[in-house]
């Protein structure tokens, strides 16, 4: 029964079970696997299969994006947060977090510095800080878009009402990052306090999509309580949701959170899952995250070589960088923005890819947007 199903599904079937290589080829071909097949790949790959996975991921990303790596200038405008996510260093319940918020002028200055350095996407990211109401956000977005109409603005400001999302969109915001963190309710409850739910996160994501944003979902790899089943659920959710962006990095503990003694995610796991997502969603914008660079010195380079095509250097003023501490040991807190982009350019060049200063929209999204 199982055998005939496999034969029907795939011409490369051989023997009783699919080899990892077969599964990688099939994933590339069909852009999906079933649960047990994902499980087999997630269980671990020998070095040859691992390299084969990365090679396929690179080939697939090059079809849509060539050798280009897009940059996003991250502006961490506030570390005040009303939420209490157990993994996060800026959670409301961390009394030792030294809080800051940037003024509207400071945020604009970050964008100006970034524009001069070649950035054409600005990401406004922060804790959920009620000080920034819809009017303030809309003013900030409009000011950036008026000054730099050739730039994209990405919001990463958490769960809001549909009305707020619409207001930001009308003010000119183009993209929205809202990692779902985990699609499995049992796991969501391990990571978040009572009162936060995956249902409300999902509602936000579908609203954002419906409004017309390019939407980013994502997970932390190796977060406390995460099992293979949870990761498979997340992969299947990503396939169903069809996001334009997927943000994934390792979980890294923060000493002032309840997860201070938990283990960080593993480099290999992050790289495997990046490559799997690339094969599953060929056109997705996939960052090699700062957390990956924090976990391992050349983590971002390895991420690019596993199929990632975005980097997000920091544009926040030097004085506040270390205060936006979601996890311990965050890199790039001591340099000016110009130094950061210089360092990152060299790092990307070392991978055989190069930075492309364009806005870097999701390949599939533009076509859909204009054709339909």
Catalog residues that contact ligand SAH under the rule CB under 6 A: 87-88, 125, 127-128, 156-158, 178-179, 181, 220, 249, 251-252, 254, 291, 326-327
Q: Name residue, tokens 């509207």.
A: 104
3-state SS assignment for residue 152: strand
The burial of 177, by beta-carbon neighbours within 10 Å (0-12 exposed, 13-18 middle, 19 or more buried), is given as: buried
Q: Please report the DSSP string for 82-137 in residue order.
A: S---TT-TT-TT-TT----B--HHHHHHHHHHHHHTT--EEEEEE---TTS-HHHH
Residue in 253, 217, 231, 247 with CA at minimum distance from that of residue 184: 231
Strands 175-177 and 214-221: parallel
Q: Between 45 and 231, name the residue whose CB sits nearer to ligand SAH.
A: 231
Q: Between 132 and 251, name the residue whose CB sits nearer to ligand SAH.
A: 251
Give whole-number Cα distances, 86 to 76, 204, 256, in Å: 20, 21, 10
**284/362 Cα distance (integer angstroms):** 6
Q: Which residues pair with 155 in a beta bridge?
A: 124, 176
Residue in 69, 58, 61, 49 with CA at minimum distance from that of residue 268: 49
Q: Between 53 and 217, name the residue whose CB sits nearer to ligand SAH.
A: 217
* 3 alpha carbon, distance to own chain's centre: 37
**274/246 Cα distance (integer angstroms):** 9
């Amino acid at each position: 029964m199982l055998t005939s199903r496999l034969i029907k599904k795939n011409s490369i079937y051989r023997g009783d079970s699919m080899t990892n290589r077969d599964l990688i080829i099939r994933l590339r071909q069909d852009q999906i696997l079933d649960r047990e097949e994902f499980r087999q790949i997630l269980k671990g790959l020998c070095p040859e299969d691992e390299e084969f996975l990365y090679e396929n991921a690179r080939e697939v990303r090059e079809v849509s994006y060539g050798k280009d790596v897009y940059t996003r200038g991250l502006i961490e405008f506030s570390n005040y947060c009303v939420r209490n996510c157990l993994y996060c260093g800026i959670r409301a319940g961390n009394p030792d977090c030294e809080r800051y918020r940037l003024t509207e002028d400071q945020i604009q200055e970050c964008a100006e510095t970034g524009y001069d350095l070649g950035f054409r996407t600005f990401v406004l990211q922060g804790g959920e800080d009620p000080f920034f109401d819809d009017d303030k956000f809309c003013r900030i977005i409009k000011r950036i878009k008026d000054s730099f109409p050739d730039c994209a603005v990405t919001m990463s400001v958490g769960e809001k009402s549909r009305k707020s999302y619409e207001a930001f969109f009308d003010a000119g915001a183009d993209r929205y990052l809202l990692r779902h963190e985990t699609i499995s309710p049992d796991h969501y409850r391990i990571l978040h306090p009572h009162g936060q739910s995956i249902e409300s996160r999902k509602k936000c994501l579908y609203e954002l999509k419906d409004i017309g944003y390019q939407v980013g979902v994502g997970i932390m790899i190796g977060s406390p309580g995460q099992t293979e089943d949870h990761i498979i659920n997340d992969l299947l959710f990503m396939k169903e949701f069809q996001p334009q962006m997927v943000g994934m990095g390792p979980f890294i503990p923060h000493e002032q959170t309840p997860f201070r003694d938990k283990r960080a995610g593993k480099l290999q796991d992050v790289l495997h899952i990046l490559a799997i997502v690339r094969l599953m969603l060929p056109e997705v914008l996939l960052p090699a995250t700062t957390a990956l660079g924090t976990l391992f010195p050349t983590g971002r380079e390895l991420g690019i070589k596993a199929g990632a095509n975005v980097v997000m250097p920091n544009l926040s003023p030097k004085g506040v960088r270390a205060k936006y501490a979601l996890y311990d040991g965050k890199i790039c807190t001591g340099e000016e923005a110009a130094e950061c982009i210089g360092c990152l350019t060299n790092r990307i060049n070392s991978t055989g890819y190069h930075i492309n200063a364009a806005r870097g929209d999701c390949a599939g999204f533009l076509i859909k947007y204009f054709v339909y």
